[in-house]
Amino acid sequence: MLSLLLKMKDEKAANEFFLKFKPKLLNNLQYAESIISEIMVSGSLRPDKFEEISIGDILDSIMKRLSIDNLIFERNLIHRQKLFGDKIRIYRALSNLIQNCIEALPNKKNYKIWFWSKDDLNSIRIGVGNEGSYIYPEDVRLLFADFFTKGKANGTGLGLSIVKEIINNHSGDIECISDISSGTEFVITLPVLAYMK
C-alpha cells in the first residue's frame, strides 16, 4: 500500500489515497514498530542484576498501568520465601502475561482474571490466568515459539517467547494449562536465590 502511494504522480490523488487509508497505514506502521521493538528487546533479556523482588509491588505497578474496569481481578499472594531476580525483566514477563490474559477475553466484560503465588519447596510458583478463554492443545505446544500468534489482530508472536526467555534466564520454568470450562492459566516456577543455577 505504501509503495503504491509513493508511485503516485498526481498529488491530489495521492492525498486522497492517503486520507482514505491513513488509519490502516498507521496501524501497519505501529505493528511494524512493535515487531522491531520486540526483536531488539529479545536480544537483551539476560538479567542485569539480581535484587529482592516484591511480586506485590510489581503487580500493583502493572495494575495501575492497565485498564480493567469491566473485569473481576482476584489476587492471592501467599508465598513467604524471598524472590531474587532482575526486577525490570520480571515486571516485563508478568506484565505481558496479564496483558495477554486481558486481550484473550472475548468482550472484556465481567470475566475473572487471577494472579496468585505460593511457596513450592525451593521455589515460588506464580499463576496468571483468566476465565473465558481457551487454547487448543496443539496451540499450547507452540505458544512459546518465536513468531507464533493466533487470534490477536496485532500480535507479533514474540511476547510469550520473550516471557519464556526471561523466565529461563532466571533458571525458572513456565507452562500453560487451558481448559474449555475453566479458562487458561500460565504457571511460572522461579527458584529462590540459593537454588539458582
Three-state SS across the chain? CHHHHHHCCCHHHHHHHHHHHHHHHHHHHHHHHHHHHHHHHHCCCCCCCCEEECHHHHHHHHHHHCCCCCCEEEEEECCCCCEEECHHHHHHHHHHHHHHHHHCCCCCCCCEEEEEEEEECCEEEEEEEECCCCCCHHHHCCCCCCCCCCCCCCCCCCHHHHHHHHHHHCCCEEEEEEECCCEEEEEEEEECHHHCC
Residue 23 has pLDDT above 90, yes or no: no
Confidence grade of residue 13 (pLDDT, cut at 50, 70, 90): confident
What CATH number should be reported for the domain holding residue 155?
A: 3.30.565.10
Whether residue 191 sits in one domain with residue 118 = yes
Domain tally for the chain?
Answer: 2
Are both 24 and 56 inside the same structural domain? Answer: no
Mark whether 63 and 30 lie in a shared domain.
no
Domain of residue 36, residue span: 2-42
* pLDDT at site 127: 97
Query: Is pLDDT of 39 > 60?
Result: no
What predicted TM-score, i.e. pTM, was given to this entire model? 0.74
What is the mean predicted confidence (pLDDT) over 33-61? 72
Structure confidence at residue 189 (pLDDT)? 96
pLDDT(74) > 90:
yes
Residue with the bigger pLDDT between 36 and 69: it is 69
**Is the same domain home to 122 and 191?**
yes
pLDDT at 69: 74
Using pLDDT thresholds of 50, 70 and 90, give the confidence band for residue 168: very high
Higher-pLDDT residue of 23, 168? 168
